[in-house]
Chains A and B, each alone.
Chain A
């Protein structure tokens, strides 16, 4: 089985975000980047499937942000092939462009299964996976927590998550696109020494794809930080003083007797 995994770079959600002067885009020059969390789980799921059988794992990514770190880490984890899509702009591709280019790249790999994170915090136009699936004319199942190989080579078992910690067990006839929320186990840790080793030996294959014009169907009129309402009453002081204040609040509210 051939598995393709899409890895996207997203702004680090922990770091402060800055806006461009026209307030229509993030200031990507000021942003730190990291691999999209659920994409990282998609990679882990692919590696687990590969370990269970004889799958070959190919990773695809735009050459943008801190992608080298992500890809060397993927190489150290044991992926078989790494393909990069050239991207010269100082901002990441929009949804339509990313869909078209990833689809072209994936067609060149001809995988049986495409795994992608089911969400990214910088998506404005809904999740990317369903769009990619329609572009590839393949079925899509998202919000998946765990995928297993079945006795049939081209059939996977996927668990779709529902509220209340419930899951639907679904059978997936390949080829298909699966939107991963979480892998069967947390993304594996790779020692720095193995990443350094991968930096010496890993090879990235750069794809030559025809450029795609950006869509004009959706445009950003303005980005802003949320208006701060009254919000929380902030407690000040050192750790001990704040702890005392919280305890007093809990007594006052009848939570602590």
Chain B
């Protein structure tokens, strides 16, 4: 045990350790290289031994095996993590910005009465404090924060850190712990509707965001998608409105897409959306806000109202295709 240990909380996607967890270990490794200490990984499941290989870049893998950890349930997960942190007293606790990490990180910090910093893209020590650079206001601002306390709990933005390349000791340590089922229990997993188009397999996606303004305008986007030979996708607010099915949502809680063309129309580019489309080969973004974060990651940008551009672009594309067919 060292004063500079970093505890990484392994994030599971189904039965597998997520890629985001490897980024957490990479970030933890950067810290321990500079400040000393070890990289610890907390693995909460029913069979830690089967998952441990993916966490070999950590020095110690603290595996809590318990039937109540078969699926994420807030009560036993929070109890197990609180107990591990009390035993190990790490300097930092790192979570992925996943749908589970977003529940657990602030909850753990509140239980331990310690600071929590969200959406971090860099962090370091400054004396007794931890300094972190975090995305703020949907990526429109950068916040440099100072946190005093031990441990400091951080959620890390996906893609902000390189996955671990370090070679850890990878020692698997079973952690015995009594855990009770909580008041919130897992019943079943409901998978995505398989009858809809799989947007992860499309070459061309026309993705609409708040800039579409109203449901009637979805028709314009659909015509544009057809002119491009592609499919419609959307950011979360459009799905929340019920204007497109959840299977068309791109981002953290939606689909991860890597099309040849991602045409982002009226999409601001909040970190949770970018997480789902940053692997696109070619991104063209259209937004009225010149400060929209989407312009930072797009290859081409247009500062314009998508509603003005869509009919013109559809017409031009149809004409080009018609000329192409005539040839």
Interface, chain A (partner B; CB < 8 A): 11, 13-14, 16-17, 19, 26, 37, 41, 99, 118-119, 121-131, 133-135, 139-143, 145, 157-174, 176, 179, 181-182, 185-186, 216-229, 231-235, 239-240, 242-244, 246-247, 249-251, 253-257
Interface, chain B (partner A; CB < 8 A): 13, 71-75, 98-99, 102-107, 109-111, 114-118, 131, 134, 136-149, 153, 155, 182-193, 203-204, 210, 228, 236-237, 239-242, 245-247, 249, 252-256, 260-261, 268, 270, 281-285, 289, 291, 293, 295-304, 308-309, 312-313, 315-317, 320-321, 324
The smallest beta-carbon distance between B109 and chain A, in angstroms, is 7
The smallest beta-carbon distance between B124 and chain A, in angstroms, is 12
Residue of A130, A172, A223 contacting most chain B CB atoms (<10 Å): A130
What are 11 A-B pairs with beta-carbon distances under 8 A?
A139-B183, A164-B192, A169-B188, A171-B184, A219-B146, A222-B143, A231-B295, A234-B301, A246-B284, A249-B282, A255-B203
Whether the pair A232, B145 counts as a contact (CB closer than 8 A) is no
**Which of B99, B107, B255 is close to A130, meaning CB atoms less than 8 Å apart?**
B107
Alpha-carbon distance between A169 and B71 when the two chains are bound, in angstroms: 11
The smallest beta-carbon distance between A40 and chain B, in angstroms, is 10
Closest to A99 in B: B110
Closest to A241 in B: B312
Alpha-carbon distance between A166 and B188 when the two chains are bound, in angstroms: 11
**8 A-B pairs with the lowest CB-CB distances in the bound complex, closest first:** A232-B301, A126-B106, A130-B107, A134-B110, A165-B192, A232-B298, A173-B183, A130-B106
The smallest beta-carbon distance between B178 and chain A, in angstroms, is 18
Alpha-carbon distance between A128 and B118 when the two chains are bound, in angstroms: 11
A16 CB contacts on chain B under 8 angstroms: 291
Alpha-carbon distance between A181 and B103 when the two chains are bound, in angstroms: 12
A243 CB contacts on chain B under 8 angstroms: 309, 312-313, 315-317
